[in-house]
Amino acid sequence: MATWVDYNNDGQMDLFIATGEGRDYWDLWFKNITLPNSFKMFKNMGNTNNWLNIRLVGTKSNREGIGAKIMLKTKEGVQYHEVNHGSNGFTQDVLPTHFGLGKVQTIDYIKVKWPSGTEQTILEPTVKKTLTIIES
């Protein structure tokens, strides 16, 4: 099982891999296979690219903004993310939501469509930080 996580908050997505010996899980899916407990963190030594993490705080919607759709617009184009906690049954995505920006230094705007239907626009946020957006 693997997931990407920025565990040291430097904007570089690190890789966490876990295998385990949880009998209730492994015995169900992989009869007679024993795996040693193993956790590995691969630190991304990085580069000078820009990034932005977005942490959503729901007030009408759920507290973590699960299901919210985020659009980030720069001069280079548009990126979309839907906030979730997992894309499959084996791993769980980590919040906040990460946007890699490459060499882009400015963001035109961010639009958030919350599960409640509320929409918000944030103009020209700065890069290389975690931006917290509270549902209005």
DSSP code string of 76-120: TEEEEEE--S-SSSS--PPSSEEEEEET-----EEEEE-TTS-EE
pLDDT of residue 26: 47
- The verdict on pTM exceeding 0.75 is yes
The residue type of 14 is D
Chain segment 56-67, per-residue pLDDT in tens? 999 999 999 999
pLDDT of residue 79: 97
The residue type of 17 is I
pLDDT of residue 8: 82
Of all residues in the chain, the percent with pLDDT exceeding 90 is 56
pLDDT of residue 91: 62
pLDDT of residue 120: 98
Tell which residue, 94, 85, 132, 91, has the closest CA to residue 112.
Answer: 132
pLDDT of residue 118: 96
Chain segment 17-53, per-residue pLDDT in tens? 776 655 444 454 544 545 556 777 888 887 889 999 9
Instruction: Please state the rounded mean pLDDT for residues 82-106.
Output: 81
Task: Please report the domains of the chain, with CATH numbers, ordered by start residue.
Answer: 1-46 (no CATH), 48-136 (2.60.40)
